[in-house]
Structure 1
Amino acid sequence: MAPDKQWMNLVNDRLSETYQFGIKEFLRYATKKVGDRDIRCPCVKCNNTYSRSHGMVETHLTVYGIVQNYTFWYHHGERLGESDSKSEYGSEGEEDEVLETRGEEDIHGIMRDFFPTLNAFNKNRADFGGSSNNMKKEDPNDEAKKFYRLLIDLEQPLYEGSKSSKLSTIIKLLHIKSLGRWSNESFTMLLQILRDELLPDGSTLPNSYYEEKKIIQDLGLSYKKIDACVNNCMLYWKKDEKSNFCSICGASRWKNDNCRGEIKVGRNGKRKPVKILRYFPLKPRLQRLFMSSKIASFMRWHHDKRVDDGVMRHPADSLQWKSFDEMHENFASEPRNVRLGLASDGFQPFAHSKTSYSIWAVFLIPYNLPPWMCMKDSNFILSMLIPGPEGPGDAIDVYLQPLIEELQELWEVGVETFDASIH
């Protein structure tokens, strides 16, 4: 938990007891998060560009003052979701209960961010129970239906007397699965053990990874599967969606069972394609940037908070950025219009495999954000995963077609979203 940051507003009274105490709390926090080594100095002069000793940072913050827009201490260990400490806790048991409550409220916050237009978000946590039926009658659209399905899971306890709801438990477990890189099968085994041997009878925990995914699918941000030619010639997409053979090299779209001499079929009875591109639609992800109450205000940083003093600290300081703004004045006039960078690289997904294999990931970087956020991998937008075993090489443009089409649509038409920073 980050210390209270109100002292940062006292830059005109840097010798005051409150400001000096704030500096010491900041340094204690940085030591706890990143260690006792030199840290980046957030003073106006250094602007997190140079590393200094703790003593030098204390001196600089007193002499020059802290950068006013550095309210998210990314360089000093702060992470999204971490709240300011503005009150004292009581006993350790009370603190645990507060943290548990905040965990549940974080899930409510996610739902408020994902469904901001519903009247339900004007209700506080206590109002959620018992009011969903009335609201459902008032908002019978698709967005509302998704919200109410999630609301039921959010209100439903994991088991009788549980402090955690069904939905919050599912999200936390899936987060652990992602961080631990668990396979779907091992995660299903964990769920079955928890449900059958550890949790009380009547637990609402799903019994498989597939069931968990079905529950949270209404949160959105899924991906599309697009079959690809084994030789990277084309995508089976749009007018070629029903094709069985590549129109360029003639290769089959489907995997072949050499023993039986027939096309391989999965458990669901569908034919198995040789290659599958996983494409993550961009529009809903851009909408989420503005729907998130923790990110939305930073989407105008490059325009509202950036210091234009001739020093290169951000892509917005470059000549290319400024030249683009001159060429497209209408686009540049709205600071919330999103600027994106694109990066791609291959990686070996099988850590101990002797066989050469390379999956290529394509990422988009939102340059609207301040530099300490836009280059953080948690803020990268995964656009697509290009299958191996070899990299796409010059044929990467074949795989980029869905992204290019969506970018063109965004440029010409755009997409409406809810800006949480002005509501």
Structure 2
Amino acid sequence: MAPSKQWMTLVDNRLDETYLVGVQKFLDYVFQKTGEEYEIRCPCVKYCNTTLGTREIVETHLIVYGIIQNYTFWYHHGERLGEPLSEFEHEDEGEDENGDAVEECESEDEVEELLRDSYPNQDGGTTNTDCDDLLEEEPNVEEKIFYNLLKDFKLALYKNSKASKLSTLIKLFHIKSMGRWSNTSFTMLLKLLKEELLPDEANLPNSYYEAKKIIRELGLSYDKIDACTNDCMLYWKEDSLLDSCKVCGASRWKLHTHSGETRNKIGKKIALKSLRYFPLKPRLQRLFMSTKASTLMTWHKDKRVDDGIMRHPADSMAWKSFDELHPSFAAEPRNVRLGLASDGFQPFRNSKSSHSIWHVVLLPYNLPPWLCMKQENFILSMLLPGPTGP
């Protein structure tokens, strides 16, 4: 758990006892988290994390010059995104017996906040009332999704349980993602919990597939766009109904092994190759729906220190030249600046395999420099299939 950062607000009164104690707690935390023995980056106003210094030097600089006011996420000093923060200077809860910060999953309040951020237009006063009784007219599609999620959020995992069905599934999916579990192992865990560890009335789904159906509305989906097997074209827009490539003439569909037909047993056609496209608009909307992320999307304008030192893309000549060419765009700090990166990679462990895949990633440069290059904030835009479309 990161120490309280209230002392940083006393930068104009740096001889105050609270500020001095805060500096010591900050240094203790940094040397513990980073594992450094001698030198760390100095976050003082003069050096702004650009030079290294010993504990004594950094302590002196923080007292003489003060700490950077907008450096509230200690990215260069070991703090992790989502790490809990002490509210008071003396609070030390949340650490294990070795003093290491313990990473926690979302609390019930955070799950409700996630639900509200995902559906900001829905009535915020229904969490303590039966939703069905409040509906005077037939809800639209988005409202139905919201009320179904809200119902799962209010439904206890089992009688007298403090955890809800929805929050439990979110935490389990979080652990699955962090631990890189397979779908099969996740199903095995659900069955173990439901059949042997939890009471008989536990409201857990039976499989990964059923669990995913419950929480998938919290996430953002993608679109499949069929592609020519020789990478000539996409079957998109006016070409979406074609059965063969208009460039090379190759068939769009897989042929059934035995019958030689393009339809399988259930009468469905399967494309030889498909591109996964992750629509950008809803992902940008989600950034501004989040109460935490929305305030950071104007950091480049509101909190960036413009002192001639390059610490962020907004300090570059390219950014400034763009602002001069497009003044109306630059006038609104909420307009999103994106960087684009693309590269091929081998998606399978067996590196001898000829399969490959390309991905296109967007980076939101509106965020502070310690966040815009974090993997959690990358926006996956497209997955381009390789030679045999893995």
Amino acid at match of 1:381: I
Q: Which runs of 5+ in 2 are unaligned?
A: 95-102
Q: Secondary structure of 2:238's partner?
A: helix
Q: Secondary structure of 1:194's partner?
A: helix
Q: Distance in 2 between matches of 1:329 and 1:369?
A: 20
Cα–Cα, structure 1 residues 192 and 263, in superposed 2: closer, same or farther, change >3 Å?
Answer: farther
- The correspondence for 1:119, drawn from 113, 119, 123, is 123
Q: Which residue does 1:296 correspond to in 2?
A: 294
Q: How far did 1:136 drift?
A: 3.6
- Note the 1:274-293 alignment, pairs <5 A: 274-293=272-291
- Note the 1:239-254 alignment, pairs <5 A: 239-254=238-253
Q: How far did 1:351 drift?
A: 0.9
Q: How far did 1:204 drift?
A: 1.4
Amino acid at match of 2:46: K
Cα–Cα, structure 1 residues 225 and 91, in superposed 2: closer, same or farther, change >3 Å?
Answer: closer
Amino acid at match of 2:222: Y
Contact 2:156 2:162 in 1 (8 A): yes
Contact 2:105 2:171 in 1 (8 A): no
Contact 1:357 1:390 in 2 (8 A): yes
Q: How far did 1:101 drift?
A: 10
Determine whether 1:106 maps to 2:107: no
Q: Which residue does 2:75 correspond to in 1?
A: 74
Q: Which residue does 2:315 correspond to in 1?
A: 317
- Note the 1:205-216 alignment, pairs <5 A: 205-216=204-215
Q: Which residue does 1:347 correspond to in 2?
A: 345
Q: How far did 1:156 drift?
A: 0.8
Amino acid at match of 2:129: G
Q: How far did 1:257 drift?
A: 4.1
Q: Which residue does 1:8 correspond to in 2?
A: 8
Q: How far did 1:274 drift?
A: 1.4
Amino acid at match of 2:117: D
Determine whether 1:59 maps to 2:63: no
Q: Which residue does 1:381 correspond to in 2?
A: 379
Determine whether 1:32 maps to 2:32: yes
Q: How far did 1:86 drift?
A: 1.6
Q: How far did 1:40 drift?
A: 2.2
Contact 2:366 2:372 in 1 (8 A): yes
Amino acid at match of 1:59: T
Determine whether 1:332 maps to 2:330: yes
Q: How far did 1:131 drift?
A: 4.6
Q: Distance in 2 between matches of 1:134 and 1:76?
A: 51
Q: Secondary structure of 2:387's partner?
A: coil
Contact 1:136 1:148 in 2 (8 A): no
Amino acid at match of 2:152: D
Q: Deviations over 1:201-253 (max 9, x none)?
A: 12211112221221123224111111111111111111222222111111111
Q: Which residue does 1:18 correspond to in 2?
A: 18
Q: Secondary structure of 2:234's partner?
A: coil
Cα–Cα, structure 1 residues 242 and 198, in superposed 2: closer, same or farther, change >3 Å?
Answer: farther
Q: Which runs of 5+ in 1 are unaligned?
A: 93-98, 392-423
Q: Which residue does 1:420 correspond to in 2?
A: none
Q: Which residue does 2:100 correspond to in 1?
A: none
TM-score norm. by structure 1 comes to 0.83
Q: Which residue does 2:97 correspond to in 1?
A: none
Q: How far did 1:255 drift?
A: 2.2
State the superposition RMSD in angstroms.
Answer: 2.6
Q: How far did 1:138 drift?
A: 7.5
Q: Distance in 2 between matches of 1:52 and 1:236?
A: 58
Q: Secondary structure of 1:163's partner?
A: coil
Amino acid at match of 2:147: Y
Q: How far did 1:379 drift?
A: 0.8
Percent of aligned positions that are identical: 61
Contact 1:4 1:86 in 2 (8 A): yes
Q: How far did 1:390 drift?
A: 7.6
Alignment coverage as a number of residue pairs: 380
Cα–Cα, structure 1 residues 198 and 55, in superposed 2: closer, same or farther, change >3 Å?
Answer: same
Q: How far did 1:102 drift?
A: 6.5
